């Protein structure tokens, strides 16, 4: 199963909202981030970004549900 990025969120809260929207429509997704958990609620130079990953076969449907809101 190959995962592809369909959305890039500025923080975890935003990523969780998108994840919830996708999963409520039957699309399994995974959140990916290189940042360690922090007390800061903002991102500097993309350090706090979260990528929303879905199965490649569901990417088009996921992007349609998101509606072009993210950076990807």
pLDDT of amino acid 72:
53
Residues spanned by the domain of 25: 3-66
- Two tokens at 51? 């990528």
Question: Residue 9 is part of a domain; what is its CATH number?
Answer: 3.30.70
- How far is residue 14 CA from its own chain's centroid? 8
Residue 71 lies in a domain: no
The pLDDT tens digits for 7-51 are 999 889 999 999 999 999 999 999 999 766 555 555 555 567 999
Residue 1, pLDDT score:
85
Question: Is the residue at 72 inside a domain?
Answer: no
Q: Which residues pair with 54 in a beta bridge?
A: 4, 29
In a domain, 57, yes or no: yes
**Would you state the pLDDT for residue 42?**
55
Question: In sequence order, which ranges of the chain are alpha helices (DSSP H)?
Answer: 12-23, 59-66
Q: What pLDDT sits at residue 40? A: 55
Domain count, the chain: 1
What pTM did the predictor assign? 0.78
| Predicted local confidence at residue 13, as pLDDT | 92
């Amino acid at each position: 199963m190959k995962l592809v990025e369909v959305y890039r969120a500025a923080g975890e809260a935003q990523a969780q909202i998108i994840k919830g929207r996708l999963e409520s429509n039957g699309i399994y997704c995974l959140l990916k981030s290189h940042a360690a958990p922090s007390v800061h609620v903002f991102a500097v130079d993309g350090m706090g970004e979260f990528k929303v990953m879905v199965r490649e076969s569901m990417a088009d449907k996921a992007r349609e549900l998101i509606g072009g809101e993210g950076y990807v």
